[in-house]
Amino acid sequence: MARNERIGFVGLGIMGQPMSGHLMAAGYEVSVYDLRRESIEIAAEHGATPCASPAEVASLSDVTITMVPDSPDVEAAIAGEGGVLDGVQRGSVVIDMSTIDPSTGQRLGERLAEQGVYLLDAPVTGGSVGAQNATLSIFVGGDREAFDRCLPVLEVMGGSVMYMGGPGMGHTAKLANQILGATAMAGVAEAFVLAKKAGLDLEAFCQAATQGAGDSWHLRTLGPKIIAGEFEPGFMAKHMRKDMRLAAQAAIDLDSPVPVTGIIGQLYGALSASGLGEEGHHALIKVIEQMAQARARN
């Protein structure tokens, strides 16, 4: 059954492509744009309306979604030449599902409000698997009425959609969530290297550890991938490095110490400097291996 809201989608990467696909499968009319022409063509093959700019997407949409890598990319997509602001309609809603600096989202929200448009910040967690399976967790900040209006749209893409509060609170919640995830990932990496260097069987150790207090999503899901030497990205290491940078900046703005986050950010920086930024973020173990001069994989 067709849905009343017309949806625009800007950013068709490993997350955005399947997310827009779920919206079309749910019966929404979807217009799309991406910097890569081939990504637009893939979406068009599944029924999307191809557009030449974010402005054109916004002009055809009641709800425009942006899903791009970083704060400057969101700035360009919304406020740049040919951006959403050039085509957006009064009374519509823009949903930024990227992970960016909260202050950037708040500033863009103020500019959109001048044109009678609401901005919801709605970053996601769950990686490419979550995007493909429509099981993403979505943290949402912004106007409550706009959230209620867009909840059916968000529920198509996510298994959990949580309202976090006013403007910027979705982005802030996502950065706090990334601290949790990166800390767990660093713990897995250090534990695996220590265990392997001591002579433990990693598969046995991983299985045993999931049964105790050290259990985590990262251990259960990414631990076996590390052991098998599989580092295809569900979430790229370079994006985790970016998120650690954003979290550290938010902490500075709030005068809230995050010493462990700072160290993990440096480790991801070393990984990116080694040319491994486009591997999965669990490739962090390679930095610990190098430091320990020991391989922690079968």
What's the pLDDT tens digit per position in 140-199?
999 999 999 999 999 999 999 999 999 999 999 999 999 999 999 999 999 999 999 999
Which residues are CB-contacts of 18 (< 8 A; sequence separation ≥ 6)? 128, 131, 132, 134
Q: Taking the complete model, does pTM exceed 0.75, yes or no? A: yes
From the number of C-beta atoms within 10 Å of its C-beta (0-12, 13-18, 19+), residue 255 rates as exposed
β-strands 49-50, 93-96: how paired?
unpaired
Q: Are 105 and 143 in contact (CB under 8 A)?
A: no
Chain length of the chain: 298
Instruction: Give the CA-trace dihedral at 249, 254, 260, 261, to 10 degrees.
Output: -30
> Per the CATH hierarchy, to which homologous superfamily does domain 6-166 belong?
NAD(P)-binding Rossmann-like Domain (3.40.50.720)
Place of tokens 């897995």: 188
Q: How far apart are CA 137 and CA 154, in angstroms?
A: 10
Q: Give catalytic residues, as residue numbers.
A: 174
- Report the CATH fold assignment for 173-292: N-(1-d-carboxylethyl)-l-norvaline Dehydrogenase; domain 2 (1.10.1040)
Which sequence spans correspond to the domains of the chain?
6-166, 173-292
What's the pLDDT tens digit per position in 208-264?
999 999 999 999 999 999 999 999 998 999 999 999 999 999 999 999 999 999 999
Q: Which two tokens stand for residue 36?
A: 């890569």
